[in-house]
Amino acid sequence: MSWRFWQPDLTNEVDDELEFHLEMRVRDLIAQGMAPDQARAEARRRLGDMPVMRRHLLHLGRERNRTMNRTEWMAELRHDLGYGFRTLARNPGFTAVALLTLGIGIGATTAIFSAVNAVILRPLAIPAVDRVMLVSEFYQGQRASVSVGNLVDWREANRAQPMFTNMGSIDWGNFSLGGDQPERVLGARVTADYFAVMAVSPLNGRVFTASEDIPGGDPVVVLGHRLWQRRFGGDRAVLNRVIQLNGQPHTVIGVMPASFDFTNGTEELWMPAAFTPEQRAQHDEHYLTVYGRLRPGVTPEAAQSMLVAVQRLLDQRYRNANGDRLVQVEPMMKQFVGDARGQLLLILGAVVLVLLIACANVANLLLARGAGRARELAIRASIGAGRGRLVRQLLAESTALALSGAAIGIALAWVVIRTLVAAAPASVPRLEQARLDPATLGFAVILALSSTLLFGLAPALRTARTDLQGVLRTGQSKQAGTRKDWLRQGLVATEVAFALILLVGATLLVRTAIHLQRQDPGFETRGLVTARIALSAERYRSPGEVRHAFESVLENLAASPGVRHAALTTQVPMGPGGGSNGLVPEGKTPGPESAIDARMRLVSPGYIDAIGLPLRRGRDLTPEDRAGAPRAMLVNEALARALFPGQDPVGKRVLCCEGAENDPRWKTIVGVVGDARSQGPDREVSPEFFMPIAQAPDAAWDWIGRTMSLVARADRDPLALTPAMREALHRVDPSVPLYRVETMEASLSQALAPGRFRTELLGSLAGIGLVLALVGIYGVVSYLVTRRQAEIGVRMALGASPGAVLRMVVGQGLRPVLAGTVVGALGAFGSARLLATWLRGVSPSDPLTLGGAAVAIVAVATLASLVPARRATRVDALQAIRSE
């Protein structure tokens, strides 16, 4: 350790050492009887090539010095950090508040970062996923699915002008997996090159070849990892086994790896699309999702403009089928993350505000402490500590604070992540993968260190700038007493501003939640239970067979005890399935311009009674509306207004869903039902119509995939009807599973879950931010009171009333609060716009919310400053002055 005090020139060191060596040698040689000149020459000879060695030693010496400087620096850092930790330990009160504040800030931010990382930042387990594009049709300003014909033509064009190495399609559907326990499994029909686009190899076996992806090819299936584990226990012998899918034998040829599962709950098996020549030729039915892998060097824009040019020609050629369709090419990741992206980034923004509040708080604490320690630092400076050394020591102290804070934060983040994953709705993809991984831990440490600079540097520089002479003489930091403490006040103002922004955002979401809770869905949700039934096209070929099977199930169920109402529908409110159709009212020329798009439901008579939709005009559908009878339909009020504004729609006719010019198949509106928010309480009412199953167009069974929902209303607990529903189906076909059994209340709650999650999250962040800001205000006012004890004492001795002192102290404490409130209100006004898409029943710039939040913040700030202010009124004047 003698090195520290010894820093001579390296050249001198080397020369002196060698010179000494030579001299000693010469002395010894002379002592042995050699002549001095000879001895000198001999000594040099023995030492070898002096200039070379000298250069070599200088080089080695420089390296040695560098290593030692580094070691020394580390030793000092350890020393400073150790000192920092000891100082923290000596001030348990300060340390506890600071660490808790910091831990909450870092913990919350880290947890949310881990969620953002899992959902948005971490790439999917697909090689070069940024080259995988979602290729969609673009129709009437919206992304739309792709028809087989268009896909075939796009591929053709891609051969002429290669933009994609591969283009593959996927079409999701439910499959009945046979066995002892028939099960409904979400699967997909994909083209053989779908796997090439994703560039993921199977875990076991293989994926299908182009020769299997043709009509009449071998019936093969590739299993997803989850299904393989769940149904086959992860047995490798499943390869080449034959399983029953939709009643048909299929050979298992491969199993995909677990990572080939982009969201929990996606498809669990893949079968060849095997498009028929008829499918390949048709451009009218748009239902495929198409992915393409861009060739190296090709931009999405280039690929898009190529396909748009091609599509323009196709639109000309298949006028009726395509209309004016364009093509959109965008990264798969973008579509995949979707709405969750904006939501998470917003929450991340909110969390950063909380972190900044926490940092401002700790900075304030450090500032206050810095002022209190002015004397200690002055003494250190006077015994020779340089300014830089003092700053470094203070920084080391806040680093010690930051590292401990990070440790607490990481522990907290661990808890928060688990809570988050458990509480989050299933609609946020991949959130369940959020965890404390190296990226997240790195984030926490970077956060801790950068916040060290943020909140450690300002107080450190300030303390170091203090006039040390003055401090030593008076025992007080001079500037703290005389100069306005703008930094401290500014920090409080910032905290208040951020807290207000959070509070306004949270209040807006809470008001939205209340609004949605009170929102009348338009039907009776209580006592309803629904379930899905899907019949396979292989076993139930003709429309008659399908209809008969469904009607038999309904008959069985209606006769079961405890069932007040039973009905069938293609789609229950907030449920899957359903589709839209264009309706042309009587008197308008049929064409895309006159058609009004509305959601279609095929229902059994009595559906509106079962679901609790009120009949406004006309009559309900009855069993008399059978095949062959005049075609009847019900419309909701929204559709009635759109079709026949200002007129009574009952008895009027519309064109829809089927027919041709010579066979228009008019449908007569027989009744109007009330509007329902059937896509969820947070969605607008959309136009809807209802047609009797008995009069359904034959093609409709293919549109809906022979899948319907069974609806039952109970007098009491609706779930008690589940066995009756299963029994009703079992008696018709024991091989068909009943799935998605849900009460309407549960679906409703699920539909509101994302909003609830958002509200709870932002609400808790606002709460934390508010508490932290209050701690900050409390701290500053306390400090103020301590600083001005003598002055207050004098004032009171001179006759100032406790009330006046209270007003003075609170008034001074509130000054930065008011400034922060004004700034925060402006900020909230601007940032609430970001929430606009999630707000219902309240405007982002709602004055009541903004005003209420501002008043609330000022009120609690007043309370927070009252506590220390009251202490000021109890100051004993004499004692205060004496202690000075």
Partner 1 sequence: MPGPETDLLQGTLDALILKTLSWGPRHGYAIARWLEDTSSETIRVEEGSLYPALYRMERRGWIEASWGMSELGRRAKSYALTGSGRARLRAEVAAWRRLSGAVGRILEA
Nearer to partner 1 (CB atom), residue 20 or residue 486: 20
Min separation Cβ 455 and partner 1, Å: 37
**What are the φ and ψ backbone dihedral angles of 596, each rounded to 5 degrees?**
-110, 125
**Binder of partner 1 out of 9, 32, 48, 847 (CB under 8 A):** 48
Residue 49 near partner 1 by CB under 8 A: yes
Nearer to partner 1 (CB atom), residue 24 or residue 258: 24
Fill in the amino acid letter for 434.
A
Nearer to partner 1 (CB atom), residue 61 or residue 173: 61
CA 327 to CA 146: how far, in whole Å? 9
Residue 46 near partner 1 by CB under 8 A: yes
Instruction: Map the footprint of partner 1 across residues 101-140, applying CB under 8 A.
Output: none
Min separation Cβ 27 and partner 1, Å: 8
- Nearest residue to 172 via CA among 196, 189, 185, 193: 189
**Binder of partner 1 out of 32, 33, 52, 561 (CB under 8 A):** 52
Nearer to partner 1 (CB atom), residue 28 or residue 876: 28
Instruction: Find the part of the chain contacting partner 1 (CB under 8 A) among 63-71, 356-364, 751-759, 817-825.
Output: 63-71
Instruction: Find the part of the chain contacting partner 1 (CB under 8 A) among 59-67, 605-613, 832-840, 844-852.
Output: 59-67
Min separation Cβ 12 and partner 1, Å: 10
Residue whose structure tokens are 């008001």? 511
Min separation Cβ 81 and partner 1, Å: 22
**Binder of partner 1 out of 4, 35, 36, 60 (CB under 8 A):** 60
Fill in the amino acid letter for 495.
E
Nearer to partner 1 (CB atom), residue 53 or residue 559: 53
Sequence-ordered list of residues with C-beta below 8 angstroms from that of 685, at least 6 positions apart, any chain: 522, 636, 638, 675, 676, 677
Min separation Cβ 11 and partner 1, Å: 14
Question: How many residues line the site for partner 1 (CB under 8 A)?
Answer: 27
Alpha helices (H) in 466-584, listed in sequence order: 468-474, 478-482, 486-518, 543-558
Nearer to partner 1 (CB atom), residue 46 or residue 317: 46
CA 504 to CA 826: how far, in whole Å? 11
Nearer to partner 1 (CB atom), residue 24 or residue 848: 24
At 417, which helix (H) or strand (E)? helix 387-423
Nearer to partner 1 (CB atom), residue 12 or residue 181: 12
Min separation Cβ 3 and partner 1, Å: 8
Min separation Cβ 41 and partner 1, Å: 14
Residue 415 near partner 1 by CB under 8 A: no
- Nearest residue to 770 via CA among 832, 839, 856: 856
Instruction: Map the footprint of partner 1 across residues 765-794, applying CB under 8 A.
Output: none
Nearer to partner 1 (CB atom), residue 60 or residue 559: 60
**Binder of partner 1 out of 11, 38, 67, 843 (CB under 8 A):** 67
Nearer to partner 1 (CB atom), residue 17 or residue 156: 17
Residue 278: CB atoms within 10 A of its CB come to: 9
**Binder of partner 1 out of 4, 35, 36, 53 (CB under 8 A):** 53
Alpha helices (H) in 32-49, listed in sequence order: 36-47
Instruction: Map the footprint of partner 1 across residues 195-254, applying CB under 8 A.
Output: none
CA 765 to CA 760: how far, in whole Å? 8
Instruction: Find the part of the chain contacting partner 1 (CB under 8 A) among 53-61, 273-281, 309-317, 763-771.
Output: 53-61
Min separation Cβ 37 and partner 1, Å: 20
Sequence-ordered list of residues with C-beta below 8 angstroms from that of 46, at least 6 positions apart, any chain: 25
Residue 4 near partner 1 by CB under 8 A: no
Site string for partner 1, 810-849 (x = CB under 8 A): ----------------------------------------
Residue 662: CB atoms within 10 A of its CB come to: 5
Min separation Cβ 33 and partner 1, Å: 17
Min separation Cβ 47 and partner 1, Å: 5
**Binder of partner 1 out of 29, 57, 192, 732 (CB under 8 A):** 57
Nearer to partner 1 (CB atom), residue 15 or residue 727: 15
For 367-378, letters b (16+ CB in 10 Å) and e give bbbbbbbbeebb
Nearer to partner 1 (CB atom), residue 6 or residue 628: 6
Site string for partner 1, 5-44 (x = CB under 8 A): -x------x--xxx-xx-xxx-xx----------------
- Nearest residue to 775 via CA among 487, 501, 492: 492
**Binder of partner 1 out of 36, 38, 64, 720 (CB under 8 A):** 64
CA 230 to CA 249: how far, in whole Å? 20
For 249-275, letters b (16+ CB in 10 Å) and e give ebebbbbbeeebbbbeeebbbbbbbbb
Nearer to partner 1 (CB atom), residue 27 or residue 473: 27
Residue 486 near partner 1 by CB under 8 A: no
Residue 63 near partner 1 by CB under 8 A: yes
The tokens for 131 are: 């080259």
Q: Is 712 exposed, middle or buried (0-12, 13-18, 19+ CB in 10 A)?
A: buried
Residue 75 near partner 1 by CB under 8 A: no
| 691 DSSP β-pair partners | 602
Nearer to partner 1 (CB atom), residue 53 or residue 121: 53
Nearer to partner 1 (CB atom), residue 12 or residue 320: 12
Contacts of the segment 432-439: beta carbons below 8 A, 24+ positions apart: 432/264, 433/118, 433/122, 434/111, 434/114, 434/115, 434/117, 434/118, 434/119, 435/114, 435/118, 436/110, 436/114, 436/410, 437/114, 437/117, 439/117, 439/121, 439/122
The tokens for 364 are: 């304030």
Distances (CA, A) of 538 to 249, 445, 535: 11, 59, 9
Instruction: Find the part of the chain contacting partner 1 (CB under 8 A) among 57-65, 317-325, 521-529, 592-600.
Output: 57-65
Residue 56 near partner 1 by CB under 8 A: yes
Asked whether the beta carbons of 501 and 824 are under 8 A apart, the reply is yes
Asked whether the beta carbons of 98 and 401 are under 8 A apart, the reply is yes
Residue 55 near partner 1 by CB under 8 A: no
Instruction: Find the part of the chain contacting partner 1 (CB under 8 A) among 54-62, 178-186, 425-433, 467-475.
Output: 54-62
Nearer to partner 1 (CB atom), residue 55 or residue 541: 55
Residue 178: CB atoms within 10 A of its CB come to: 17
Asked whether the beta carbons of 165 and 154 are under 8 A apart, the reply is no
Min separation Cβ 43 and partner 1, Å: 9
At 565, which helix (H) or strand (E)? strand 563-569
Strands 248-255, 220-223: pairing kind? parallel
CA 279 to CA 215: how far, in whole Å? 11
Residue 622 near partner 1 by CB under 8 A: no
- DSSP state string for 239-307: TT-EEEETTEEEEEEEE--TTS-SSTTS--EEEE----HHHHH--S-EEEEEEEEEPTT--HHHHHHHH
**What are the φ and ψ backbone dihedral angles of 712, each rounded to 5 degrees?**
-135, 140
CA 136 to CA 326: how far, in whole Å? 9
Residue 473 near partner 1 by CB under 8 A: no
Instruction: Find the part of the chain contacting partner 1 (CB under 8 A) among 61-69, 147-155, 496-504, 687-695.
Output: 61-69
Instruction: Find the part of the chain contacting partner 1 (CB under 8 A) among 52-60, 138-146, 461-469, 718-726.
Output: 52-60
Sites of contact with partner 1 (CB under 8 A): 2, 6, 13, 16-18, 20-21, 23-25, 27-28, 46-49, 52-53, 56-57, 60-61, 63-64, 67-68
